[in-house]
Amino acid sequence: MFKIIKISVYLLIIVFLYGLVPKAQAKNDSLFIFVEYAAKTGKCTQSSNDQVNIYTIGKWKLKSGMTDYKITYSSKPKNLSGENIRIAVEKSFQTIQGANNGELFRYAGESKELKPTKDGQNSIFWLPLRGGVVATTYIWTENSRVVDADIIFNRRYVWSNTEYNGSNDCGGSAKTYDIRNIATHEIGHWIGLVDN
């Protein structure tokens, strides 16, 4: 009799814990995935493969303090140097920081990450994504704070980096995607903006 009561208590505790843990995780931990599609025309015009820049506010914030980001150079397109890419990405972060009055992000060197993973490492890299998708950004949050973000560019497309002068849209070369332009859009998601 005593034994049965004891076992019942243990069972109750196990059931209680089992019920509690997954619920708590589901409530406070989230993954947001932003998929950016290429324009149907496949040509670079003012409104084609330029990404939308109109956002509304999402439901998460950056963690307090500085956020480090890394670039996986082993995955980069061959037509661009690592230094070229680093500068383009840095300018994208500056654009977002300028809009937020202060430094939020810091370049932290080379990453080895080649798969979007919640590993506490914010990485930017290239992967062969499915056709029509220009970039995908993964944002993991805990209690509405970003704990990890990974930006992936589609390796199937040609990427460029040309200083925009007001008329040379898409980096000045047709049928290429401008790293700075698209990275800026993706970082916008990172800080909590969502496409309108």
Residues making contact with Zn ion (CB under 5 A): 34, 195
Residue 174 three-state SS: coil
* CB 38, min distance to Zn ion, A: 13
Nearer to Zn ion, 73 or 139 (CB): 139
* CB 23, min distance to Zn ion, A: 30
Rounded CA-CA distance 120/106 in Å is: 15
* CB 147, min distance to Zn ion, A: 20
Nearer to Zn ion, 34 or 125 (CB): 34
* CB 35, min distance to Zn ion, A: 8
Number of H helices, E strands in the chain: 3, 10
Q: 11 phi and psi, to 5 degrees? A: -60, -40
Rounded CA-CA distance 52/56 in Å is: 12
What is the DSSP pairing of strand 29-37 with strand 145-154?
unpaired
In a 13 Å sphere around the CA of 141, the CA atoms on its Cβ side amount to 22
Rounded CA-CA distance 116/182 in Å is: 18
Nearer to Zn ion, 108 or 133 (CB): 133
Nearer to Zn ion, 21 or 31 (CB): 31
Nearer to Zn ion, 114 or 194 (CB): 194
* CB 12, min distance to Zn ion, A: 47
Tell me the residue nearest to Zn ion as measured from the CB: 195
